[in-house]
Amino acid sequence: MTGPVVPGAPVTGGGALIELAGVQKTYRSGGRGGGGGVGFPALNGVDLAIAAGEMVAVTGPSGSGKTTIINLIAGIDRPSAGTVTVSGSRLDQMTEEQLAVWRGRTIGIVFQFFQLMPTLTAAENATLPLDLARLGPARERKAVATRHLATVGLGDRGDRLPLELSGGEQQRVAIARAMACGPPILLGDEPTGNLDTGLAREMFGLLQSLNVTGTTVVYVTHDRALAQLAIRIVSVRDGLIVGDTGRRR
């Protein structure tokens, strides 16, 4: 399964589902009108190719650029130089409107701090991406969300608000929400950072089960033990990839 190709966008070669080529990213602070200011280089020329079906951990110290890589793959950030091609679409050439539609169909994201809507129930949170994309009738959307909640072990907690759930349960809802539109790619930005070791391993068990069924999983973690659960480990330091180990499919 792949996301929609933007008309006229070049398609990546070599069979890569995700490809960053010569990517640089500089964040700027200060200045006016988007120019000037102080530049903070986050990536200094990254080349990275990930095949469909891989499970990849991105590791490195704080400030190394690993979260920037995830944000570029998700189309949240744009490169300052280089190209980002995901599921056949050149993200660096897409408009914000195109990116929003593409992201909703192609990418599921799980964040460290869950980012659930506090006034919505677990079922409503899990349904939200389907509602925003207006995919199918309301009854069908609810049924899909209910199935995903059952998959993450929360089939009986759909009527609970986030504050009524434990941290582990909230992260399970976040995974169910990320699964909502059946995206071919699931991204995690320190998805277990707020969980204890036992719960973290449970969460990774869910990510592994999704990977086994064909979902490409790319996640950032500072925990080397959790990184070892991936098929492949990409190490980042000072905005550069300094290591890439493990079996590639």
| Residue 88 included in any domain | no
In the predicted model, is pLDDT for residue 143 greater than 70?
yes
Mean pLDDT over 154-173 rounds to 91
β-partners of residue 109 are: 187
Residue with tokens 């980002």: 84
In the predicted model, is pLDDT for residue 3 greater than 50?
no
Number of structural domains the chain divides into: 1
The pLDDT tens digits of the residues spanning 83-125 come to 999 999 999 999 999 998 898 889 999 887 778 999 999 999 9
| Residue 23 included in any domain | no
Whole-model pTM? 0.84
Question: Are 118 and 163 within 8 A, CB to CB?
Answer: yes
| Residue 164 included in any domain | yes
| Residue 101 included in any domain | yes
CATH code assigned at 109: 3.40.50.300
E strands, 30-68, are: 38-51, 55-59
CA dist 43 and 72 (Å) reads: 11
| Residue 74 included in any domain | no
β-partners of residue 26 are: 41
| Residue 202 included in any domain | yes
Beta pairing class for 216-220 and 55-59: parallel
β-partners of residue 29 are: 38
pLDDT category of residue 7 using cuts at 50, 70 and 90: very low
The pLDDT tens digits of the residues spanning 223-233 come to 888 898 899 99
| Residue 113 included in any domain | yes
Give the pLDDT score at 30: 63
In the predicted model, is pLDDT for residue 211 greater than 60?
yes
Tokens of 146: 């209910």
Give the pLDDT score at 248: 53
Q: What is the extent of the structural domain holding 217? A: 54-64+95-244
Order of strands across the sheet that contains 55-59: 107-111, 185-189, 216-220, 55-59, 232-237, 240-246
Give the pLDDT score at 72: 96
Give the pLDDT score at 114: 78
Give the pLDDT score at 16: 92
Give the pLDDT score at 193: 74
- At residue 167, what are phi and psi to the nearest 5 degrees? -60, -40
Q: How far is CA 62 from the centre of its chain?
A: 18
